[in-house]
């Protein structure tokens, strides 16, 4: 690498990939290395459309080599295992060592088991291309089998669980019962009321059984155990999908850095780690203060999308010795996929539901994909499908 400064970005999700591309575009004197073990960039809000076949893999999960070709970013397909903050050097799982002048930690979330036995061995998450393929295989198996009362259990009735339940109900079309399990009192806690009501109606229309106040105690290959009002219940099921929450697993920092109770690295408002000069963080791994609510910002795709340009700007400003910008989150609203060709949107007092909302949601997300060339190609492909008679 010939650049005067080396910036290493750890994690090729939305925040990381967008930051790497912005750095290379803005400053030719900076060498940018992206460290990401996965072959595909995956925009997770569109994972549901990949499951249902409403979008194609190349649109919502393009290969990193295609997105980075000719963009001035070196991609190292590896995983960072440890970071020495004092020597500014990191180590990867393959034993490679990389020095850096600035480091951006943009690692995504991983499945959070909450210590429930059997989750790691038997449940399927829904965050990666591997998860998608495992679920597609399960759906295909259920569609071709004729066993009565096949059941899929989805644990966690937040946005991911609700969106997944609606898509699976449409895909399976009576081949299996879908049960949505939530330990809280209601689905979509904290969501906009319009979207919550639309989601309830969508679940009812698809005969999805919602079990609230039900805590999972154990997951096995063919059943799970619930605690419901103090009573233990065994629920036979052909598969368990786990959307109950995300954990963060940043690489080992030496010496350790301050973190919140969820393990997220505590950042200043400018996205730089507390008590640190050379390391920044964004996305799921970063606990960034929300000054309006006096608590860290939510770990959502919307937050990561808005953090990326600020992160790129501040990394370059720090190299130049210039003042850094504070990140200010602009809450743009909430969009939910509620089955094939259905969605609900609440944004700035505006609400919409149905097929048009589904198309708006797809268009908005595709328009935010990293890389101008890919955005154009994805938009043309999407428009061609949309205009089909």
Tell me the average pLDDT across 223-235: 94
pLDDT band per the 50, 70, 90 thresholds, residue 386: low
The Cα 343–Cα 129 span in angstroms is 23
| Residue 141 confidence (pLDDT) above 70 | yes
Q: Please give the share of the chain, as a percent, with pLDDT higher than 70.
A: 96
| Residue 380 confidence (pLDDT) above 70 | no
The backbone torsions φ and ψ at residue 246, rounded to the nearest 5 degrees and listed phi first, read -120, 145
Strand partners, 31: 6
The backbone torsions φ and ψ at residue 39, rounded to the nearest 5 degrees and listed phi first, read -80, -30
DSSP string, 302-368: HHHHHHHHHHHHHHHHHHHTPPPPPP------EEEE-STT-EEEEETTEEEEEHHHHHHHHHHHHHT
pLDDT value for 383: 67
Tell me the average pLDDT across 246-258: 91
| Residue 148 CB contacts under 8 Å (≥ 6 apart), including other chains | none
The backbone torsions φ and ψ at residue 140, rounded to the nearest 5 degrees and listed phi first, read -60, -40
| Residue 190 CB contacts under 8 Å (≥ 6 apart), including other chains | none
Tell me the average pLDDT across 335-358: 94
Q: Could you tell me which of 59, 76, 71 has the C-alpha nearest to residue 378?
A: 59
Highest mean pLDDT among 279-293, 333-347, 354-368: 333-347
**CA-based angle 297:166:387, to the nearest 5?**
95
pLDDT band per the 50, 70, 90 thresholds, residue 48: very high
pLDDT band per the 50, 70, 90 thresholds, residue 4: confident
pLDDT in tens, 51-67: 999 988 988 899 999 99
Tell me the average pLDDT across 99-122: 93
Total Cβ atoms within 10 A of residue 369: 23
**Cα pseudo-dihedral 130, 134, 136, 137, rounded to 10:** 140
pLDDT value for 2: 45
User: Mean pLDDT, the chain, as a whole number?
Assistant: 91
Segment among 226-240, 295-309, 370-384 with least mean pLDDT: 370-384
37, containing H or E segment: none
Q: Please give the share of the chain, as a percent, with pLDDT higher than 90.
A: 73
Q: Are 312 and 22 in contact (CB under 8 A)?
A: yes
Q: Which residue has the higher pLDDT, 89 or 379?
A: 89
């Amino acid at each position: 690498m010939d650049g005067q400064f080396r910036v290493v970005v750890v994690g090729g999700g939305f925040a990381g990939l967008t930051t790497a591309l912005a750095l290379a575009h803005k400053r030719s004197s900076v060498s940018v290395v992206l460290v990401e073990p996965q072959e595909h960039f995956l925009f997770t809000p569109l994972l549901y459309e990949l499951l249902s076949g409403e979008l194609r893999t190349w649109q919502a999960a393009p290969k990193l080599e295609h997105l980075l070709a000719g963009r001035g970013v070196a991609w190292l397909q590896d995983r960072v295992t440890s970071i020495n903050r004092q020597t500014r050097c990191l180590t990867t799982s393959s034993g490679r060592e990389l020095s850096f002048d600035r480091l951006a930690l943009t690692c995504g979330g991983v499945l959070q088991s909450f210590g429930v036995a059997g989750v790691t061995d038997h449940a399927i998450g829904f965050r990666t291309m591997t998860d998608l393929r495992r679920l597609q295989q399960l759906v295909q198996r259920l569609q071709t089998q004729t066993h009565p009362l096949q059941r899929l259990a989805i644990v966690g009735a937040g946005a991911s669980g609700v969106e997944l339940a609606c898509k699976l109900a449409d895909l399976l079309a009576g081949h299996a019962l879908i049960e949505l399990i939530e330990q809280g009192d209601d689905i979509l806690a904290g969501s906009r009321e319009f979207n919550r009501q639309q989601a309830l109606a969508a679940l009812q229309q698809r005969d999805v059984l919602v079990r609230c106040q039900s805590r999972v105690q154990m997951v096995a290959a063919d059943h799970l155990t619930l605690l419901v009002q103090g009573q233990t219940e065994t629920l036979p099921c052909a598969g368990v999908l786990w959307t109950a929450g995300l954990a963060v697993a940043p690489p080992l920092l030496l010496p350790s850095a301050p973190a919140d109770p969820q393990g997220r690295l505590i950042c200043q408002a400018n996205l730089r780690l507390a008590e640190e000069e050379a390391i920044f963080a964004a996305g799921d791994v970063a606990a960034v203060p929300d000054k309006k609510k006096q608590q860290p910002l939510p770990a959502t795709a919307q937050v990561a999308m808005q953090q990326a340009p600020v992160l790129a700007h501040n990394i370059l400003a720090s190299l130049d010795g210039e003042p850094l910008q504070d990140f200010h989150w602009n809450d743009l609203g909430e969009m939910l996929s509620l089955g094939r060709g259905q969605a609900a949107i609440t944004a700035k007092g505006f609400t919409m539901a149905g097929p048009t909302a589904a198309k708006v949601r797809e268009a908005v997300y595709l328009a935010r994909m990293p890389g101008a060339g890919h955005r154009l190609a994805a938009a043309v492909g999407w428009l061609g499908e949309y205009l089909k008679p």
